[in-house]
Structure 1
Amino acid sequence: MRRPHTLLAALLLAAGTAAAQDYGQAATLKIWDNTTAPHSNGIATPEREPEPNRIADVSQAVLYIFPADPAKATGQAVVICPGGGYVKLCIDYEGYDMAKWFAANGITAAVLKYRMPNGHPEVPLEDVEQALRIMMGLEAGATGFTAGKVGIVGSSAGGHLAASASTLAETKPAFSILFYPVITAEKGKGHQGSFNALLGGSRNAESDTWYSLQNRVTAQTPPTLLLLSDDDKVVPPVNGILYYNALKEHGVKASMHIYPTGGHGWGIRDRFKYKEQWQQATLDWLKELNDDRNTASVLLRQPGLPGCVDVGIRPATSRKSAGRELAEAAVQAAVQEFGQQVRSRRESDWPAGQ
């Protein structure tokens, strides 16, 4: 029998003492802020909510954790990145409402309130990488998911961040699910407001090319599901199509669904005519992916970041074995504010095949 002293258990015990917004989450984990993260976004004004469930001026990264229904647990988990043009977060229909749906279907979900870039593109990327490291560091078994099956979900600009984690980051998710994602900076195709907020005054042709993520896809990019609307005028579906084509060119497992109508920003809203269709397509895709033992999260070498793991890369064999390469640093950092300790992890503690 596993000892109950796991990170998630610690978070659940401590959640009641942590000051946090209440979205129905089981636990709230403050990752870091501008004073403790590797980089600052330069935002000094207090976080604000210009309208309900729209959060702006974010300068502290936070995870809101929704554990999977134990009776349905698939062994998978997702980090969810809401959209908002990189200037705010639509925390409800692209965040906690979506997380509740994933959790009800057996997939632990953690909504990431990431810091706004404010012209510092490295800031949201380091937030999402740290969130992935922390989720991978939760002890498998008692949490309902395993370290090698932590994926990412993103909508709109949050889809750009999720795709960035899948292409630019060294700590990669096991899979990505992208709703109407911002992908390209090309004029006439890309959402210019998102790239202006991401890159700020340093934006130029070179940075546009670098952060147009169809250019960053490699054979190591994780399997991806894309969900788009044909009539999206805010982030045209060509964004997702460019990414899909790049995935296929590099031999990456990918699936794309383009619905006839819906426009932009439907998320898990009931008003979206094809809500049931995208939900079933997502569950079917995740089930198929879950049967593919070649798919796993990858945690690679990240020296020098506070609270992060510094591990070597195993030679050649498999991405799935990378899950067991997790060290303790990210987990220890995650629970420091709660005064908890995390036991050492032994090889025998990891499930077979992970």
Structure 2
Amino acid sequence: MAVACILSTPAFAQKDKMQPVPIPAQPNAIELGTGPLPGATASESWHSQYGSLFARNVTVATLTPYLPDPAKATGAAVIVAPGGGFRTLSMENEGSDVARALAAKGVAAFVLKYRLNQTPADMPGFERSMAEMFSATAARPRMDPDKAIAGLAPQIADSRAAFTLVRKRAAEWHVDPDRIGMVGFSAGAMLTLATTLAGEDAKPAFIGLIYGPLAPVTVPAEAPPMFVALAADDPFFANSGFGLIDSWKTAKRPVEFHLYEKGGHGFGMYPKTTTSTGWFDAFARWLDMHGMLQPKR
């Protein structure tokens, strides 16, 4: 299924070697209570690549808070969903680095380490599986939203549990329960969109989709404001049209779309010479426009 075939890797460094690393200490990670991944046999492991840390074979979902200085806190919050093709998670470039940047703006951020499809335990086998996925994604980049939602049941359960947890502890974390949004990267962007379309109790106040699929969807009546960033040379999602943007516009829901000339796929918070590096500043300005960088009055 195409939902398992979305890679989040910087196009400028696709051949960088993966190096196994010990699982880092995660003292602030909170288990979400969605249970172990059904049928999982492999154990969670981590590796470094592109100067950044990645997790794979995640079987238990967690949420890690990155809280702003109370003097700067705006009350807004963001669930951050890293990408990695639902086989790995870019825990720094699309996780903690994003969360720290949001916290610096006064926004409480929470990195979601969601459960993943299992991959071979050995590094060579994992590398082969990622290479196969990379090739398959380039050939089949389009997403069927209905199939995506059906195929992401564990991950959507994790994202919904993340919203529930943040709302439950909103007073402790100085968060406004009605101002919790979500931003995702690549596969995380798909999860963000699927969480929004699935409805039920997550109901993000706003969403950010960074280099995710842009197939048209049926937009919920009360769909949240949406921010989208994509590079025109993205090998997966830049050549399949912009139906998602049209869907939001047709539904008369707020949408902002940044199409950068260059940047490839997976640029995240990596410093690059392309204008795609400016996506975060644009996202922050968009949040400010929607009143998320100021305390609610």
Relative to the length of structure 2, the TM-score reads 0.73
Which residue of the partner structure matches residue 152 of structure 1?
A: 182
Change (3 A) 1:89 1:220: same
Matched residues in 2 for 1:251 and 1:225: separation? Answer: 14
Moved over 3 A (4+): 20-23, 117-120
Residues 222 and 98 (structure 1), Cα distance of their counterparts in 2 relative to 1, 3 Å cut? same
Give the distance between the partners of 1:291 and 1:48, measured in 2 at CA. Answer: 36
Whole-angstrom CA distance in 1 between matches of 2:207 and 2:110: 14
Q: Determine what percentage of the aligned residue pairs are the same residue.
A: 29
Tell whether 2:207 aligns with 1:176. yes
Q: Is the 8 A contact 1:69 1:107 kept in 2?
A: no
Q: Is the 8 A contact 2:75 2:296 kept in 1?
A: no
Instruction: Tell me the secondary structure at the aligned position of residue 60 of structure 1.
Output: coil
- Structure showing greater Rg: 1
TM-aligned CA deviation for residue 251 of structure 1: 1.3
1:226 aligns with 2:257: no
- Assess if the C-alpha contact under 8 Å between 1:268 and 1:275 holds in 2: no
Matches within 5 A, 1:1-354: 21-22=24-25, 27-32=28-33, 34-35=35-36, 40-51=37-48, 53-117=53-117, 121-140=152-171, 143-170=173-200, 171-184=202-215, 214-236=216-238, 238=240, 241-271=242-272, 273-274=274-275, 277-290=278-291
Other-structure match for 1:196: none
Q: CA shift at 1:260, angstroms?
A: 0.7
Residues 160 and 183 in structure 1, CA contact (< 8 A), matched pair in contact too: no
Q: Distance in 2 between matches of 1:123 and 1:167?
A: 15
Structure 1 pair 22–237 and aligned structure 2 pair: CA distance change class (3 A): farther
What is the CA deviation profile of residues 127-151 of structure 1, one whole-angstrom value per residue up to 9, with x for unaligned ones?
A: 00110111122233x5232110000
The verdict on how the C-alpha distance between 1:21 and 1:63 changes in structure 2, with shifts beyond 3 A counting, is farther
Alignment partner of 1:234: what SS? coil
Paired residue type of 1:68 = P
Please tell me whether the aligned partners of residues 224 and 254 of structure 1 are also in contact (alpha carbons under 8 angstroms).
yes
Deviations along 1:261-284, one digit per CA (max 9) or x if unpaired, are 001100111125225632221111
The amino acid that maps onto 1:280 is D
Cα drift, residue 46 of structure 1: 0.5
Please state whether the residue corresponding to 1:145 is helix, strand or coil.
Answer: coil
For structure 1, list consecutive stretches of 5 or more residues without a partner in the other structure: 1-19, 185-213, 293-350
Measure how far apart 1:121 and its partner are: 2.1
Q: Secondary structure at the match of 1:271?
A: coil
Instruction: Specify whether residues 352 and 80 from structure 1 end up closer, same or farther in structure 2 by C-alpha distance, changes over 3 A only.
Output: closer
Separation in 1, partners of 2:56, 2:218: 28
Rounded Cα–Cα distance in structure 1 between residues aligned with 2:276 and 2:190 = 22
Shift, 1:33, TM fit: 5.1
- Separation of aligned partners in 1, 2:273 and 2:32: 33
State the secondary structure of the residue aligned to 1:147: coil
Q: Which has the higher contact order (CA 8 A, sep 6+)?
A: 2
- CA distance, structure 2, for counterparts of residue 120 and residue 43 of structure 1: 16
Which segments of 5 or more consecutive residues in structure 2 lack a partner in the other structure? 1-22, 119-149
Aligned partner letter, 1:124: Q
